[in-house]
Amino acid sequence: MKNGPLLFTGLFLALLISFGGLVLGSHGQLGRMAPYFDDGDGTAFPQRVSGLAARGQLVYADLGCASCHTQQVRRPDFGSDKARGWGERQSVARDYIHQARPQIGAARIGPDLTNLGGRQKSEEALFALLHEGSARHPGYKFLFETRDVAGEASPRAVKVAGAAAGRETVPTERARALVAYLLSLNTAYDYPEAKPFVPVAKPAEAKK
């Protein structure tokens, strides 16, 4: 190879073609995807989450929760996601259109959280897990503050062994946002494109 300009052109083209094909191509296909309007319910899905939950997603992202948890359910015949109760259907692109920064994750050191809000209803249990942790989950005590009880004790106070009388440990605003976000995770609505593909039975099999 002697031709320098040709080398540069080739290099630039390689970058441009792959960027155009993969990034701009998928952007062209999915970038304008609209919510699905259900005539029966009179509602568009997916629905936007509350402001507190939206802030919670930022906490989820900046703590790096996605390094252990995924938020993507695979189709029923690929892995055991459905059998584990992580979701009745596979996740589709439309599920993520309102998310500023989707956290689909790449490791399952802990369970998938796509539909955590559908199976975990208890705010208290999540606060306890985040504060104390467990043998398999870290406890993030920096998300809580210990203070004097002023008047009535906070209903969100977590139980701490050996806590001094007149003191309580309560979740900070970040912890409340994170838990609101976790409880908002639910993709129960069935989009048309989320229905698994069922192969058409051959005539001979159909007769049986």
Partner 1 sequence: MSNAQTNAAPAEVTAIDTQARGPLLLLLGSGLVWLAVSGVLALITAIQLHSPQFLADCFLFTHGRAQALRETAFVYGWLANAGLGLALWVLGRLGGEPLRGLNWVVVGTLAWNLGVTCGLIGIAVGDTTTFALLQMPRYVQPFLVFSYATLSIAGVLAWSGRRADAMYASQWYAVAAIFLFPWLLMAAQAVLLWWPVRGVVQPIAAGWYAQSVWSLWLAPLALAILYYVLPKVTGRTLPTYDWAPLGFWTLIFVGTWTGGRHLIGGPVPAWIPTIAVVAHSLVLFHYLVVALNCRGLLAASGTGVGFMRFGLVAYVLFGALEFLASFRGIAAHAQFTFIEPALQQLGLYGALSMIFFGGIYYAVPRLTNRAWASGSLIGGHRALVMTGIVISILALIVAGKAQGGALLDPKVSFADLFDRVRGPLLAHTAAQAVLLAANLLLLVNFLRSACCFGGSTEAAPALFRTSATEEAHAS
> Site map for partner 1, 39-78, x if CB under 8 A?
----------------------xxxxxxxx-x-x-xx--x
53, 56, 95, 179: residue in contact with partner 1 (rule CB under 8 A): 95
Neighbours of 125 (CB within 10 A): 11
Question: What's the CA gap between 133 and 68, in Å, rounded?
Answer: 14
Q: Does 161 bind partner 1 (CB under 8 A)?
A: no
Instruction: Extract the tokens encoding 177.
Output: 């946002």
CB burial string 40-65: b at 16+ within 10 A, e below: eeeeebbeebeeebbbbbebbeebeb
Q: Does 128 bind partner 1 (CB under 8 A)?
A: no
C-alpha closest to that of 118 among 189, 174, 48: 189
Q: Does 151 bind partner 1 (CB under 8 A)?
A: no
Neighbours of 82 (CB within 10 A): 18
Min dist. Cβ of residue 90 to partner 1 (A):
7
43, 51, 101, 163: residue in contact with partner 1 (rule CB under 8 A): 101
Contacts of 25 (CB under 8 A, 6+ apart): none
Residue tagged 């989009």 (tokens)? 191
Q: Which is nearer to partner 1, 10 or 149 (CB)?
A: 10
Q: Does 208 bind partner 1 (CB under 8 A)?
A: no
Q: Which of residues 174-193 bind partner 1 (CB under 8 A)?
A: none
Question: What's the CA gap between 95 and 22, in Å, rounded?
Answer: 20
Q: Does 119 bind partner 1 (CB under 8 A)?
A: no
49, 53, 55, 96: residue in contact with partner 1 (rule CB under 8 A): 96
Q: Does 172 bind partner 1 (CB under 8 A)?
A: no
Q: Which is nearer to partner 1, 17 or 153 (CB)?
A: 17
- Beta strands per DSSP E along 15-57: 36-38, 43-45
Count of residues of this chain found to bind partner 1 when the rule CB under 8 A is applied: 71
Q: Which is nearer to partner 1, 134 or 203 (CB)?
A: 134
Min dist. Cβ of residue 207 to partner 1 (A):
32
